[in-house]
Amino acid sequence: MKVDIVTIFPDLVAGPLGTSIIGRAADAGLVDFTVHDLRDHGLGRHRSVDDEPYGGGAGMVMRPEPLFAAVEPLRDAGAHVVLMDPAGEQLDDASARELATYDHLALVCGRYEGFDERIRTLVDREVSIGDYVLTGGELPALVLVDAVVRLLPGVIQEESHRGDSFASGLLEYPQYTRPETFRDLTVPPVLLSGHHGEVARWRRQEALRRTSERRPDLLGAIALDDDDHAFLRSIGFEPE
């Protein structure tokens, strides 16, 4: 996968892209990152990329000329263009998995009060990471990159993300490792039993328990069998 990121703060995103699993994926050639400084297309001696909004109001708006100059070549090269915008569709597991199917993504990061509306004619989708506003689109772009790149073949073991929270519609079950006992807290005996069927059953039930306690809204969107319903009733929860 090729990922282009358009920003006025390239140093803000370049460091994390070379770190940990994402950095190793790049080193292995599984993903190719290019960070574009929007100010390379800025106007005038100060390479300006923003101006006051028509109609008045607080803040500055990013001008269309630099954005078009930076994004159009990426779109022409076949990139799926994503505008990072708090008004966009919310990133979730399903959309991350769909984005991971593209060979080329271009992520456009805003700043200031927002974008000139005309930039939206260049993008394929607008994505938010939550119902809140940050000072710019760089951190959301990094969140999207992390969510997507880890799903690419060869980046991590497929089994690792198959059991992730939201992958099955449920939150992930609890995890334990050595030591078996720590400060009088012990690992559930079933995980030490070697009985794979019982371990799978325990994990399913604990995922149901955690989801019912923390995100009960998720339970209405997944298929629950008779055993699931029986377990949820046993802990005092009855999905609608």
Report yes or no on 175 lying in a domain: no
Does the pLDDT at position 226 exceed 80?
A: yes
Report yes or no on 165 lying in a domain: no
Percent residues over pLDDT 70 in the chain: 98
Tell me how many domains the chain contains: 2
Do 36 and 144 have their domain in common? yes
Containing structural domain, residue 215: 181-234
Whole-structure pTM value: 0.90
Residue 70: which CATH number? 3.40.1280.10
Report yes or no on 239 lying in a domain: no
Predicted confidence (pLDDT) per residue in 32-42, tens digit? 999 999 999 99
The residues assigned a catalytic role are: 86, 113, 150, 164
Do 120 and 210 have their domain in common? no
Read off the pLDDT of each residue in 207-229 and give the average, rounded to a whole number: 95
Report yes or no on 164 lying in a domain: no
Report yes or no on 31 lying in a domain: yes
Report yes or no on 173 lying in a domain: no
Do 98 and 141 have their domain in common? yes
Do 62 and 153 have their domain in common? yes
CA dist 127 → 85, 154, 157 (Å)? 6, 26, 27
Do 47 and 149 have their domain in common? yes
136 DSSP 8-state letter: B
Residue 216: which CATH number? 1.10.1270.20
Do 25 and 125 have their domain in common? yes
Predicted confidence (pLDDT) per residue in 80-111, tens digit? 999 999 999 999 999 999 999 999 999 999 99
* Dihedral, CA of residue 75, residue 153, residue 18 and residue 171, to nearest 10: 100
Do 114 and 230 have their domain in common? no
Identify the residue whose tokens are 């690419």: 152
Percent residues over pLDDT 90 in the chain: 91
The phi, psi pair for 32, rounded to 5°, reads -120, 115
Do 125 and 219 have their domain in common? no
State the sign of the Cα–Cα–Cα–Cα dihedral 12, 14, 19, 23.
positive
CA atoms of 131 and 157, how far apart (whole Å): 31
